[in-house]
Amino acid sequence: MHSHAPHSGTLRREIAALAARMMAEDGISDFGFAKRKAAKQLGASDSDALPNNAEIEAELRAWQALYQDEEQPERLYEMRSAAVEVMRLLADFRPYLTGGALDGTAGRYSELEIELFPESAKEVEIFFLNQDFHYEHREPRRPAPNTPEAILSFDWDDVPVRLSIYPAGAERSGRRGQERARLAQVEALLASSSLDQQPSPSGE
């Protein structure tokens, strides 16, 4: 029994590291999908060996610090800038930013993830049609209590955007506060990112 624990811990770390690399290199944004794919690739069948999202996020941040130390902050700034513009455009539909652009793990292939809570999903599509705005429908991955009514995708200044549209009543029962942000919070994040990118004064 005791001899199995180190192996399980090692395998768990290997799965977390591989899942993080997949998210960074392949643009996978779903932690669950990344960890299952990594586990399968490593031949793991014991669900107890699967790392949690926090472990994968830690590996992802470490990977980005090693391999994308200059590129990743620039991309993050671009994505947060796009988020502010898109959220302003869609302000009537109560937008929230989620995902890597919010938590700071977004990279080269990440999508900008925004949740909307309109009275009707059709309102968003009618708005886009009136704006002559091109978008595509995507099917939700699988039925679940938190599955969106519709998913729309489009590009905004070379940033891929995914809009997940939920019923208005789901707004209060959705993600925890720290997992999504309203426009004012994203504007503050963007301002912070801008300050972080300023060169240090000479002599410091």
pLDDT in tens, 146-168: 789 999 999 999 899 999 999 98
Strands, DSSP E only, in the chain? 96-98, 112-116, 136-138, 150-156, 159-165
Q: Does this model's pTM top 0.75?
A: no
- What whole-number distance in Å separates Cα of residue 47 and Cα of residue 39? 9
Report the relative pairing of strands 112-116 and 96-98 from DSSP bridges. antiparallel
Residue positions counted in the chain? 204
Residue 57's Cβ-side half-sphere holds a number of Cα atoms within 13 Å equal to 11
Pick the CATH number of 71-196 from 1.20.5.510, 3.30.460.10, 3.10.20.30, 3.40.50.1360: 3.30.460.10
Question: What confidence tier does 110 reach under pLDDT thresholds 50, 70, 90?
Answer: confident
Range of weakest confidence among 3-17, 87-101, 158-172: 3-17
- CB–CB of 73/100 below 8 Å? no
The reported pLDDT for the residue numbered 169 is: 84
Q: Which of 118-127, 175-184, 192-201 has the highest mean pLDDT?
A: 118-127
- CB–CB of 98/114 below 8 Å? yes
The reported pLDDT for the residue numbered 34 is: 87
| pLDDT above 50 (res 5) | no
The SS3 call for residue 200 is coil
The reported pLDDT for the residue numbered 138 is: 85
